[in-house]
Structure 1
């Protein structure tokens, strides 16, 4: 049975990971070398993976991952799959109904099922989590004859991207990780790891074994259409540290995590609607976009999710998720990644119009993905993959290697011990991250004492704040006005302006006191209340440029 990763000296880890990442993205011939003809291939032999280097020190496994015995068992199981089952093992189904999902797992051997939207939680029941756990158990029962678990993934990044709500503990946006690390260094990293470890433990208790998080994307600022606070910030080194800290926590909880969206959704267009263009040249790819992913590779991240992005410097006009140059040459050969490669959802606008029917699924697998995620039509995707396997368009050897990788990680997750703690029992870890992240953006001198508050603005934030204020005995209804700025808010007047998502709206607020909180749930509000009462200091640092001068010291 596997055990959680031992705790490490955070300062040493940060130094090692960033030096490794820098070596990966700067050294000649390591990351993509782009020839004059636009081809992408290394100028020399690709470097060894951090886990496969021939040096004695590097032969020791680093991080959480399958044992040799689990890998051997996975290879045997993958080799035994008939083609009709192998085809399904390369796809994570889009769930249209519980019944159809169970049938795909039972009859066509789909690797797993992704449940999203309203279907994920039956909020009309007395115990909504119980219905989720029951269905996840049914998925495992449907695949019990295969000899390894079914993959049951979830998007649970924190903040706005959290598919499961009550009774699980809510966690703040991932931008809080960047603020905590920018303000507290290795202590901030420890808070991030504690939060993702807690979130991972609760997800496992709910029957999930995979989480599609964290985001390795580097936000471009206010023009960012879809990533925003899902990113840890605008500095690649800070984002890299946040990614490593988050992956460590998920791994300690025994969860398969996937860093997304390779090579970086650092663009001004939403890939749900069209195909964005990542306009970085090869130098910027090395020094900017790839840094968080290189750090994840160096830290032995279990999975990486590819994005639907046109990267002209590498493979013009081809989505990264469909590009052999990006996935096999870049991520596999040059960065040395030997974990799971998962495509982003194949039902998104960026690929649906370009790759009709099951073509998107086939192209993603041919490019090097181990798992094709959420095709628009499950049956069409399956039929297309099976036909491609039979014709040799998808090499059978490659497909079995992909299946073996997936199976090995599923076996390892199954063998990892579950951490104690019921769903909803980790509010302290969530609050601690928000406390480390909370950032004073502006304040008057002297700092006024707050004896009572009038909360205004974002309804969700106001409701959560009232709960936290009442718990702490902070009077409500008169006194200092606290205006909450939610996603998409513009600046507002008041005594105190608090952003609960990205902090950009603070720049246009006339409030003399401005606080970036990065979260809107009760644990985040508990951290804020302590700051307002003067019992705690907000010591996070802005992970993005807001355009507000640094506050003066009083």
Structure 2
């Protein structure tokens, strides 16, 4: 980089602490979240005139993102940190790249074969880092190191590696070590631990009511392991932790960020906030106050402030008035500059994405974490049966179309398809046909529940009591699987997969029907990895 950390003005140093949300698509008319994603003209102005430090991307294919990242870097005077929430590989967010099963799939494998799970976690980290570089991303906002010991957690859920600090520590540490094969930044999140909550911090402020001893025993060990493994950044959570700070959420708490993370845990890398547009923090104070308090607490990078110009001006005024020490800003910029030095080495060769070996790793993880019972399913008359697919949010189900296995395979076998959004389940009780039930359900941000509410539970139970279900496939949450197992016929053919992507669907249905025929192989082997 042409400028070192000494040469920037105060406002430029503050601007380097700001990371804004940007569309991964190239053109303005493709923007999906206009409230959060600036137009190209606005984004270019921010990068060129304000000297913002980076962007976080969502949307666009992997190949399109290569061009988009190059475009964004060309607008910047100082090379950007380009981040993405790619906890399950770049294919999770940007189609075309490798999409891994959720981390909890590795936790399930760990219970049977810890060494195999650790090998998979390291491969997952390495492939994610390799493909991130290939498309222009240099900051991986992963791994999640929360301990998901609350089955009702609506937002962490299967994004965590497991339900115990030992499992999460081991697998997240292996992921970080794997990612270190390439010059990208990794992130342990969400400090000090978002796993034992039943509230989504995207909507409200959750609270961890535990005492210091419990927090030290359960929540903190994975962060300690991540730090020991060389994680580059730690993301703070919008959480209330009364045992450590009765007044302020962790994001803006000096006691938590400086006291616990910096001093007690000894973390010297980048501290980044979770998105500052989330309900868990916006309800606490104004955007101006939040920006200042986050920096006062010890954050180096503010992720997605409501308005970057307002955030910069507020922090600048706080420095000038003596509320924030100028030296603190310089220390944050020095850490950012050092991080950029690590990831912006232009001499590195550009690796490929979605290599055959990467897809084989995904296939192995899916197969080794698959759960089955009472197979195969033998339907008396498939042409009189329906393939009932229930999706959490049908408008965002990018893993389903007419040619994906969950639809195409049953259709080839003679089933008639019916696809229903989970919010409109009542209609399924009016149909008395024998039913293959496929459910796509997992915890997701902004939804507020872990996939099952009282109404959906009642409808599933009614469907089961009518003896219509001839087989069940659940994609996503093992907590939903556990709930079903409590009341369904224990002889019912059942398959559970942590993954929801096309590979997961093909593997699950192949197991359900024991599809080893040559006709099946010729139709699906090439596309779905058999």
TM-score of the two chains, using structure 1 as the length reference: 0.73
Q: Which of 115, 119, 129 is the matching residue for 2:57?
A: 115
8 Å CA contact 1:499–1:515 kept in 2: the answer is yes
Distance 1:371 1:293 in 2: 19
Report Cα offsets for 1:99-128 as digits up to 9, x if no partner: 222222211111112234xxx33xxxxxx5
- Point out where structure 2 has 5 or more consecutive residues left out of the alignment: 22-36, 392-396, 417-433, 442-450, 517-530
Match of 1:77 in 2: 4
Report Cα offsets for 1:145-164 as digits up to 9, x if no partner: 43xx21111112239x9762
State the Cα distance separating 1:129 from its structure 2 match: 4.2
Match of 1:55 in 2: none
Matches within 5 A, 1:331-410: 331-410=261-340
Secondary structure in 1 matching 2:204: coil
Distance 2:470 2:98 in 1: 30
| Larger RCO: 1 or 2 (CA < 8 Å, sep 6+) | 1
Secondary structure in 2 matching 1:369: coil
Q: Which of 459, 471, 477 is the matching residue for 2:414?
A: 477
8 Å CA contact 1:450–1:532 kept in 2: the answer is no
Match of 2:181 in 1: 252
8 Å CA contact 1:92–1:372 kept in 2: the answer is yes
Report Cα offsets for 1:135-194 as digits up to 9, x if no partner: 311221222x43xx21111112239x9762322232222221212222321111211221
Q: Which of 65, 70, 80 is the matching residue for 1:137?
A: 70
Distance 1:534 1:287, change over 3 A: farther
State the Cα distance separating 1:533 from its structure 2 match: 6.2
Matches within 5 A, 1:173-184: 173-184=102-113
Q: Please, what is the CA RMSD of the aligned residues?
A: 3.2
2:117 aligned with 1:188: yes
2:499 aligned with 1:519: yes
Secondary structure in 2 matching 1:153: strand
Match of 2:247 in 1: 317
Distance 1:406 1:432, change over 3 A: farther
8 Å CA contact 1:154–1:210 kept in 2: the answer is yes
Distance 1:93 1:449, change over 3 A: closer
How many pairs align?
446
Distance 1:448 1:172, change over 3 A: closer
Match of 1:505 in 2: 480
Match of 1:56 in 2: none
TM-score of the two chains, using structure 2 as the length reference: 0.76
Distance 1:243 1:455, change over 3 A: farther
Distance 1:102 1:534, change over 3 A: same
State the Cα distance separating 1:200 from its structure 2 match: 2.6
8 Å CA contact 1:451–1:533 kept in 2: the answer is no
Distance 2:150 2:471 in 1: 23
Matches within 5 A, 1:18-417: 77-94=4-21, 95-116=37-58, 120-121=59-60, 128-143=61-76, 145-146=77-78, 149-158=79-88, 164-265=93-194, 266-415=196-345, 417=348
8 Å CA contact 2:69–2:136 kept in 1: the answer is yes
Distance 1:135 1:475, change over 3 A: closer
State the Cα distance separating 1:451 from its structure 2 match: 9.5
8 Å CA contact 2:401–2:407 kept in 1: the answer is no
State the Cα distance separating 1:387 from its structure 2 match: 1.5
Match of 1:8 in 2: none
8 Å CA contact 2:184–2:342 kept in 1: the answer is no
Distance 2:117 2:515 in 1: 19
Q: Which of 426, 436, 440 is the matching residue for 1:486?
A: 440
State the Cα distance separating 1:248 from its structure 2 match: 2.4
Match of 2:364 in 1: 432
Report Cα offsets for 1:437-472 as digits up to 9, x if no partner: 2234xx24xx54769987542365995797458999
Match of 1:70 in 2: none
